[in-house]
A and B are shown apart, each in its own frame.
Chain A
Amino acid sequence: MTGDQTYRRADGGAIDRSRPLSFQFDGRRYRGYQGDTLAAALLANGVRLVGRSFKYHRPRGILSAGPEEPNALVELRGGARREPNSRATVAELFDGLEARSQNRFPSLSFDVLALNGLLAPLFAAGFYYKTFMWPAAFWEKLYEPLIRRAAGLGRASGLPDPDRYEKATAFCDLLVIGAGPAGLAAALVAGRSGLRVILAEQDFALGGRLLSDRRWIDGRPAIDWVAGVVDELGTMTDVRVLTRTSVIGAYDSGTYAAVERVADHLAEPPPFQPRQRLWRIVARRSVLAAGAIERPLVFGDNDRPGVMLAGAVRGYLNRFAVRPGARAVVFANNDEGARTVADLAAAGVAVAALVDPRPEAAAETRRIVEAAGARLLRGAQVVRARGGTRLTAVELAGVAPGSGIDPVIPCDLLAMSGGWNPTVQLTSHHGGKPVWDATIAGFVPGTVPPGMVVVGAAAGHFILADDLAQGAQAGAAAAQALGVTAAPVPGFSADPETAAILPLWRVPGARGKSFIDFQNDVAVSDVALAEREGFRAVEHLKRYTTLGMATDQGKTANVNGLAVMAELTARSISETGTTTARPPFTPTALGALAGHHRGPDFRPTRLTPGHDWAAEQGARFIEAGAWMRAQAFPQAGDADLQATIDREVLAVRQAVGLCDVTTLGKIDLQGPDVAEFLDRIYINGWKTLAVGRVRYGVMLREDGFVQDDGTTARLGPDHYLMTTTTANAGSVFRHLEFCHQVLWPDLDLRFISVTEQWAQYALAGPRARDVLAGIVDPGFDLDNAAFPHLAATETRVCDGVPARLFRISFSGELAYEIAVPARYGDALARRLMRQGADHGITPYGLEALNILRLEKGHVAGAELNGQTTARDLGFERMMSTRKDYIGRVMARRPALLAPDRPCLVGLRPVAATATLSGGAHLIARGAVANAAADQGHVTSVGASATLGHWIGLGLLANGRARWGEIVRAVDPLRGQDTEVEIVSPLFYDPEGKRLHA
C-alpha cells in the first residue's frame, strides 16, 4: 500500500510531476515530486506514523502543514549534516533526502518505552520537581540519564558542522513579513509607489493560504492572481523577495532579524553558497502579514496519527495534490468546516460527517455537506479518537438518541479546526501585550513596535477581500508616511465567505488523554493538576507543566492551554493573561547566529608587519587580545618549550634578543596642553619631562584602581607619544577621549591611535648597542652619555628610513625600542637579525618576555587586574601630591589605604626545585587552607633560567612588611602545597646597573 504514492491525486496541485524525486524514511525508499514537503510526500505514500512523542512515546503523525508543527519532527540527512527535530512540514523534498523518525526504540511501530504511557502519573505536571527530589546524588547518576533516555528528542550529529553560514545586512523603506494575500497586496502597492521593499516569506512559494485554499480573486483563481503579482514584483528593481526566509525577531529602531534557508532544500549547499544566511534588515516601516495558525480541538486521544488540522488537510489536498486519508470526518467549531468538506469531496475523499458543536448551520453549509454525501451533526462533538498507530474511528457525543446515527464513525482522517490564532508573536518582541478579541476567539496585536502595521489574518481579519484591501492600504500608507506619492490602491473582489466561530476549548465528556501541547505531551489533566496545586498564573502554568516550552514554543498549544486554565478558574481569558513571545519566532540553528564567526575566524585576527618574519623563524603564535604574537621560537635543538624559553631568556641576559612589541598601543598626542593633559591622566608629573626623554607612567580609573601603565615620550615641544598595554589599547584611548571631550574640552590638544602605523621592536641585552650601531646614521651618538637610559628621539635608520628610537627596557638589560613605519617593519626585523648575527642575536617571544619582566618585578596583566591600586603595586611614591589627576581622591579612601591590603611581593620556593602555580592561594604555615585563612594569591610565575629556580609575583596582605617570612602557596586545583619565601619583587640586578650600562 505504501511506496507508490497511492494517496497522490491524479492532477492538480503546485507540484511538478515531471520531476519525480526519490527519498528515504527510516531506511525505506519512497518517491515524491518537486514542490513537495517531506510531510506531503510521506502522506502521498500513505505514511501516517512519523514519530514518537517526547514523554509518553505515543505514536504521532502529521498535524499541520507549516512551521507550527509539533509532532512530525524527524532527523534529516546523515553524517555531520544530521539535524534532529526538523519539521517534516517545512522540509522541502530533494532527490536523495534521508529522514529518520526520532525518539523510538527499537522501532517506530513497536516502541517499548511507550510503556511510559502506562507510567503517566509519574510524568504528570511538575514531575521533575516532585519525583526526583532526593537524594541529591541520585539525580546525576540515576534520574537524569534515565529521563534523558526515556524522554527526549532527536540526536545531534556530534560532528563539526561542515556547512558555512553567513550574515548580511539590508536596508529598506518597507519590510513586508509574509507573502499571503495581505502581504502581497502591501508589497505590490509599495513597490508601485517606488519604495525599496523587502518581502520575506518563510515558505518556498509565495501566496500563503492562497496556495492551500480554492479561492477566487477578481474573478479568477487566486493562484493565478498570485502568479500575476509575483511577476509584477519581479520587474521592480527596488523590490527584493526573500523566500525560505523567516523573520525571527523585531528589535529596536526598525531592525529585524531573519534567517534565509539558502540551501536547506538541496542535498548540500552549492559551491560558495552558505547553508543559511542571517539577515539584519533595517526597515523604516514594516507590515506584519504573517497570517494565522489554526488551533487543534482538545478531545480524548486527539494525538492519534490521522488527526490533522483542517487547514493543513486542505493544503495537502489542493497544494500538494495529496489525500491525507481515504475516509474523513471533519470536526470544526467555525465556518471553515464546510470548506474542508467541500475540498475533501472534490478530491475524492469519502466524507462521513461534519461534526459541528454549534446548534445551527447555515444553508450553504447544509448544501455543501449534502452534496458531499456526508452527515451534518450539529451540536455534536468528537470525544475520543480510536486507533493506535493510526486513526480507525472517532467516538461522538451529542448525537441525538434515537436518530439512528452510530456514535462511533470509522475513519482514517479527522480534520479539525478550533479556530485561528493570529500570528502576533513579532508584535510582542518590544513588550507589547496581545489583546483578547472575543469575536474571533483569539489574541490580536496590542501595542506594536514603532513603524509596524499589522494586516490580514495576523490582525484577526479572516475575510479574504478585507485582507487584500488592508494590505494594499498599508502599502500606500507606508509610502505616504515616508513622503512618497502612493500608487493607487486597487479594489479587490473575492468569493463570498463567513468566519463565525463558537469557542470550544475542551470537549466535555472527553475520554482518554486530551492533549493541548503535543510536543511536550501536556494534556488537560496536567493543566487541571496545576490549577489544583495553585499554579494558576500563566507564567506558573507554563513552567509547571512545560506548556509551550518545546521547540514549537506552543504555537498550536498556548491559547488552548490558557483558555482551559481560564475555564478551570472561572476567569475570562483576558483576566488569565498570556505569556510573552520572545525571539526567535522559529527554531534557529546556532550556526546561523554564529555566521562565519567560528574557529580561527571567531573574530578578526591582527597580525604585526613582522608576522611573516616571525613565522619563518619558527615562531609558535599565541593570541594576545586580537593580535597573534610569537609565544616562543623553538629550534631543533630545544628539548621542550621550557628549553626554548630558557635559551631565549639567557640570550637576552648574555648577548642580545629581538622581540616584536608592535602590539603595544601607541597614541600620538600633539598640542600646547599635552603636558597638562598627561598630568591629569597619570598619577605622576609630566611638566618636567624634557624633549628627548621618556617616562614611565601609571594611570588610574576614577575609582582609584590602576587602569593601565606604559611609557610616554616627548618627541618635540608639543609632541608626545604614549604607549599602552596591548590589552588596554582600545579602552585607554576611549578613556582619553572621554577625559578630553567630556571633562576638559578647554585643553588644546589632539591625539590619535598610531598603533597600526608603526612597527616596533625591542632590542635587549648587553650587545644591543653594538647591533643598533649598525643601522643608525653614522653620526648618531649611541654612547651612554649621549643617549642614556630613558632617552627618546626621532631619527633615521637603515640609510634613511624614518624611525623613533627609545632607550627603554622591560627586561632590565641595556635595551632599545625602534619604531619604523609599518611598511618597513618586516625589513627592519630581517636587517636587525643580519646585523646581530655576529653578536648572537636571538628572537624571543612572549614567554621569555614574561620571565624577563618577572625577574625584574615588573607588573603586567595579572597584576593590573582592575582590583589593585597604585599603592598595592608599589607605586605610592609616584603618586603626585601637587596636582589633580584621575583617581586621585578615590585612591585615598580609607579602605584602600588599609595596611592589610594585599600588595605586591616576590615569591621564591623554599625548596630549590619546587614549582609554583599561578592562582595559588597564600596561606600561613600550619593554617587550615580555607577561605578564612586566605591571605592573598600568586599572580604570575615562571621558571627563571637566570636564577635557576622558579619565581613568582603575588598579592599578599601587608606583604611589604613580611619579606623573609615563609608562607604556603596552596593550589587545590592542581594539588600543590608549596612553601614559599616572601621576598622583594626585584629578583635580578636590584641596583639597575645593567639598565644603565
Chain B
Amino acid sequence: MRIPCPHCGDRSHDEFSYGGAADRRRPTTADFGPEWLDYVYLRDNPAGLHRELWYHGSGCRCWLIVERNTLSHAITAVHAVLPASSPAMEDA
C-alpha cells in the first residue's frame, strides 16, 4: 500500500505506522467508566470507508488522518492532524 503524504508525497506504507481510528476524543472526565473503556478499547471495524491515523515516522514525523476503504485499500484523502494554526506549525 502507498500513502500520499501531504508533506512528502506518495510513499510506501512501510515508512508509516498505524495509529488506529481517527476522531476519537479523549474523555475529559476523571472518573473511570464506560467513556474511558470506549476510548481505550472499543473500535468500530467498518467494511468500507475508515478514517484512521498513520504516523509518518520515516518521513515528516507527522500524524496523518487517512481516509481508506478497508475493503479495497483505496485511499481517498490524507491530511495532517496538526492544524495550521497550531503553535508548532508557526514557522513550518
Residues of A within 8 A of B (CB): 251-255, 282, 430, 450, 671, 673, 702-703, 730, 734, 737-738, 740-743, 745-750, 884, 888-890, 892-893
What residue of chain B has the Cβ atom nearest to residue A449's Cβ? B72
Q: Which residues of B contact A673 (CB under 8 A)?
A: 87
Q: Which residues of A contact B75 (CB under 8 A)?
A: 253
Interface contact B53-A253, CB-CB below 8 Å = no
Q: Which residues of A contact B32 (CB under 8 A)?
A: 889-890, 892-893
Interface contact A746-B62, CB-CB below 8 Å = no
Interface contact A282-B2, CB-CB below 8 Å = yes
Provide 27 A-B residue pairs closer than 8 Å at the C-beta atoms, listed in order of the A residue: A252-B2, A252-B13, A252-B73, A253-B73, A254-B2, A282-B12, A450-B74, A671-B87, A673-B87, A702-B26, A703-B40, A703-B41, A730-B57, A737-B63, A738-B53, A738-B55, A740-B88, A741-B80, A741-B81, A745-B81, A745-B88, A748-B87, A889-B29, A889-B31, A890-B36, A890-B40, A892-B32
Question: B19 touches which one: A450, A738, A889, A892 (CB < 8 A)?
Answer: A738
Interface contact A748-B88, CB-CB below 8 Å = yes
What residue of chain A has the Cβ atom nearest to residue B80's Cβ? A741
Interface contact B87-A737, CB-CB below 8 Å = no
Interface contact A255-B55, CB-CB below 8 Å = no
What residue of chain B has the Cβ atom nearest to residue A169's Cβ? B12
Within 8 A of A (CB), among B1-51: 1-2, 12-13, 17, 19, 26-27, 29-32, 36, 39-41
In whole Å, how far is B55's beta carbon from the nearest beta carbon of chain A? 6
**Alpha-carbon gap, A717 to B31, bound state (A):** 34
**Alpha-carbon gap, A429 to B47, bound state (A):** 19
A749-B88, A889-B31, A890-B40 known; A743+B2 contact, CB < 8 A: no
**Most chain B CB atoms below 10 A, which of A252, A738, A750:** A252
What residue of chain B has the Cβ atom nearest to residue A743's Cβ? B26
**Alpha-carbon gap, A893 to B37, bound state (A):** 10
Q: Which residues of B contact A750 (CB under 8 A)?
A: 88
What residue of chain A has the Cβ atom nearest to residue B86's Cβ? A745
- For chains A and B in complex, what number of residue pairs have CB atoms within 8 angstroms? 77
Q: Which residues of A contact B61 (CB under 8 A)?
A: 737
What residue of chain B has the Cβ atom nearest to residue A255's Cβ? B2
In whole Å, how far is B66's beta carbon from the nearest beta carbon of chain A? 12
**Alpha-carbon gap, A671 to B86, bound state (A):** 13
**Alpha-carbon gap, A348 to B27, bound state (A):** 85
Q: Which residues of B contact A749 (CB under 8 A)?
A: 87-88
A253-B1, A734-B17, A734-B55 known; A884+B30 contact, CB < 8 A: yes
A703-B40, A889-B31 known; A741+B63 contact, CB < 8 A: yes
Residues of B within 8 A of A (CB): 1-2, 12-13, 17, 19, 26-27, 29-32, 36, 39-41, 53, 55, 57, 61-63, 72-75, 80-83, 86-88
In whole Å, how far is A331's beta carbon from the nearest beta carbon of chain B? 44
Interface contact A734-B73, CB-CB below 8 Å = no
Q: Which residues of A contact B86 (CB under 8 A)?
A: 741, 745-746
**Alpha-carbon gap, A614 to B73, bound state (A):** 48
**Alpha-carbon gap, A253 to B30, bound state (A):** 43
**Alpha-carbon gap, A671 to B90, bound state (A):** 13
Q: Which residues of B contact A737 (CB under 8 A)?
A: 55, 61-63
Interface contact B2-A734, CB-CB below 8 Å = no
Interface contact A741-B62, CB-CB below 8 Å = yes
Interface contact B63-A742, CB-CB below 8 Å = yes
In whole Å, how far is A770's beta carbon from the nearest beta carbon of chain B? 43
Interface contact A742-B81, CB-CB below 8 Å = yes
A251-B1, A741-B63 known; A889+B55 contact, CB < 8 A: no
What residue of chain A has the Cβ atom nearest to residue B29's Cβ? A889
Question: B53 touches which one: A282, A742, A747, A888 (CB < 8 A)?
Answer: A742
Supplied contacts A255-B2, A746-B87, 14 more A-B pairs, CB within 8 Å: A252-B2, A253-B1, A282-B2, A673-B87, A702-B39, A734-B17, A734-B57, A740-B88, A745-B82, A745-B87, A888-B30, A889-B27, A890-B36, A890-B40
What residue of chain B has the Cβ atom nearest to residue A887's Cβ? B40
**Alpha-carbon gap, A450 to B69, bound state (A):** 13
In whole Å, how far is A482's beta carbon from the nearest beta carbon of chain B? 14
Q: Which residues of B contact A254 (CB under 8 A)?
A: 2
**Alpha-carbon gap, A889 to B29, bound state (A):** 9
**Alpha-carbon gap, A748 to B89, bound state (A):** 10
Q: Which residues of B contact A888 (CB under 8 A)?
A: 30
**Alpha-carbon gap, A671 to B73, bound state (A):** 39
Interface contact A738-B1, CB-CB below 8 Å = no
Q: Which residues of B contact A884 (CB under 8 A)?
A: 30
In whole Å, how far is B30's beta carbon from the nearest beta carbon of chain A? 6
**Most chain A CB atoms below 10 A, which of B32, B72, B82:** B32
**Alpha-carbon gap, A37 to B9, bound state (A):** 45
**Alpha-carbon gap, A888 to B17, bound state (A):** 25
List 10 A-B pairs, minimum CB-CB distance, nearest first: A253-B2, A748-B87, A252-B1, A745-B86, A252-B73, A741-B63, A741-B82, A741-B81, A703-B40, A889-B36
In whole Å, how far is B14's beta carbon from the nearest beta carbon of chain A? 10
Q: Which residues of B contact A255 (CB under 8 A)?
A: 1-2, 12
Q: Which residues of A contact B12 (CB under 8 A)?
A: 255, 282
**Most chain B CB atoms below 10 A, which of A734, A738, A741, A893:** A741
Q: Which residues of B contact A703 (CB under 8 A)?
A: 40-41
Q: Which residues of A contact B13 (CB under 8 A)?
A: 252
What residue of chain A has the Cβ atom nearest to residue B68's Cβ? A252
In whole Å, how far is A668's beta carbon from the nearest beta carbon of chain B? 14
In whole Å, how far is A563's beta carbon from the nearest beta carbon of chain B? 30
Q: Which residues of A contact B88 (CB under 8 A)?
A: 740-741, 745, 748-750
**Alpha-carbon gap, A738 to B12, bound state (A):** 21
What residue of chain A has the Cβ atom nearest to residue B61's Cβ? A737
Q: Which residues of B contact A741 (CB under 8 A)?
A: 62-63, 80-82, 86, 88
Q: Which residues of B contact A746 (CB under 8 A)?
A: 86-87
In whole Å, how far is A703's beta carbon from the nearest beta carbon of chain B? 5
Q: Which residues of A contact B63 (CB under 8 A)?
A: 737-738, 741-742
Interface contact B73-A745, CB-CB below 8 Å = no
Q: Which residues of B contact A892 (CB under 8 A)?
A: 32
Q: Which residues of B contact A889 (CB under 8 A)?
A: 27, 29-32, 36
